Amino acid sequence: MNRTVLITGAGSGFGREIALRLAARQWAVIAGVQIPSQIFALHADAERRGVRLQVEKLDVTNAADRDRFSEVDVDVLLNNAGIGEGGSMVDIPEAALRRQFEVNVTGPVMLTQAIARRMVARRAGKIVFMSSCAGLTSDPFTGAYSASKHAIEAIAEALGKELQEFSVAVATINPGPFLTGFNDRIFDSWKNWPTEREDTLFDYERIAYPYKQFDIEPVVETTVGVIEGTIDSYRNVEPKQNAAMQRQQMDAAWTRKSSENLGRRFAMVQTAYDMQPATPADE
């Protein structure tokens, strides 16, 4: 029998390509998309690539959508759906902050609860969270997004320990800067803020995502490997060469002084002003 995977956020980015790739590898793929218009587009992509998918509307913040999958047995759940709300923690509106956590944390956890119970009953299954390098460290203007991914890291860590005795595995994927358009949209999210805001600390029209970005293939390959079990690592950072930098940044918090460099602009803030959107890593 074909193995079954449920992928949320399959309408674009990593989720879309992972869904198509797994379908080509004979998985029974249930591809959840946020809005109905994405259903036709993903079916069209699948037809062009000669694969078959079951595409369903699945907005993780919608209880009715989640409930439709509460009785579905899947071998693997890939919690991939997510958004990024950018902006300084001093500037970001309350509504944007709440939406960040509803989409990235609360919705996925509620969906996971129902799926996990069925896996526990079968004593088999795997739950994979599309986390982020931002779940391990935090940069200027992505504090809200990073906070949501730090929450996912904590949830995945706890869940893995809780489900171990029931033979249900948990893993995370931790992408860094990849060219899906997602990172650049984070830095455009201020355009949805109330138009009367004139007291922001930063000029968001002039700043961009402060990293050069890579092609998505390493994330797709690693995620497929984690889902299929050929990669057994709990945490999976991509690109792999960034893992050492992540560890250094995490360790630096133990020795950094709260008073150091006060009165000077943080280097990454300046990089955000200097960087052009969607700058590829090979430039």
Give the full edge-to-edge strand order of the sheet including 54-57: 54-57, 28-33, 4-7, 76-79, 125-130, 168-175, 235-238
The one catalytic residue among 145, 204, 209, 211: 145
From residue 219, how far is each of 154, 189, 226, 240 by CA, in Å? 21, 24, 10, 10
Active site residue 209: no
Q: Work out the widest C-alpha separation in the chain, in whole angstroms.
A: 63
**Any residues with CB less than 8 A from the CB of 213 and at least 6 apart, and which?**
177, 178, 179, 183, 278, 279, 280, 281
Residue 29 · residue 53 · CB < 8 Å: yes
Residue 130, helix vs strand vs coil = strand
For the purposes of burial, counting CB atoms within 10 Å of the CB of 235, is it exposed (0-12), middle (13-18) or buried (19 or more)?
A: middle
* 92 vs 95: CA distance, rounded Å: 8
| Active-site residue set | 145
